[in-house]
Structure 1
Amino acid sequence: MDPTHTGTTRTATGTPPGAGVSGSDRPRLARHVRLAFCRTRQRKILLHPETVVVLNASGADILELCDGQHTVTEIVSELGARYQTVPEDEVRQFLTRLVARRWLEVTDG
């Protein structure tokens, strides 16, 4: 993360129940989570201590952009450039679920 950034980081404990991510939020994988490619499955996976989550293509595409630099709006925009339609609400719901599981951290934009 950029040391000059003055935004705050939220995890599930800092996010009110039912609150989603905003367009200016900058999601990134939590420190204990890693995105990797599984040669056996020929798919991207999310590695969490004692857990492996096999991602579908759209989930992997979203998480590849969760680097703490891209805002949620920029992620949706980038995906929209790659594909014809990208439901912004579905991207936000996906990110919100991962924040609730503490697999993503969100920095306020």
Structure 2
Amino acid sequence: MYERAPEVESGALPWPAPSNNQGIETAMTTALRSSSRPRLASHVRLGMDRVRKQYMLLGPESVMLLNPTGASVLDLCDGRRTVGEIAEELRRRYDRVAEDEVTSFLGRLVTKRWVELDDD
């Protein structure tokens, strides 16, 4: 069964604070720059379970549950917008959006190979 994503305060970002296990995560986040152009990997797609009203990132034999804010971040990852442009668009939609939090979230998805980067 699917585990429900934790509820978040309105306007809050959908991901937890970085863990103490920085290793690969830090290396991948460092490679993600404001000028990077993230896009969903070809083997994943953004979906919505209409019955549960739950956003999901679907991969081969795996599912990541998202809240609406996380889905908004990934919906903007089209390979054309930069991380900086994505953060700016999110600031128009939500309160308290920091580019470093967007970068951290996307960096974790890059580490898992769910998001790929096009760099200029």
TM-score range, shorter chain: 0.7 to 0.9
Per the TM alignment, residue 84 of structure 1 is displaced from its structure 2 partner at its CA by 2.7
Structure-1-length-normalised TM-score: 0.81
2:69 is aligned, of 58, 69, 73, to: 58
Runs of 5+ in structure 1 lacking a partner? 1-14
Identity %: 51
Which residue does 1:18 correspond to in 2?
27
User: In 2, distance between residues paired with 1:80 and 1:34?
Assistant: 24
The alpha-carbon distance between structure 1 residues 93 and 17, as it changes in their structure 2 partners (threshold 3 A), is closer
Per the TM alignment, residue 73 of structure 1 is displaced from its structure 2 partner at its CA by 0.3
Runs of 5+ in structure 2 lacking a partner? 1-23
2:79 is aligned, of 47, 68, 77, to: 68
Aligned residues: 95
Q: Deviations over 1:53-108 (max 9, x none)?
A: 11012211100000101100000000011123202111100000000000000000
Note if 1:90 corresponds to 2:101.
Answer: yes
Structure-2-length-normalised TM-score: 0.74
After superposing on structure 2, the runs of 4+ consecutive aligned residues of structure 1 that deviate more than 3 Å are none
User: In 2, distance between residues paired with 1:92 and 1:45?
Assistant: 20
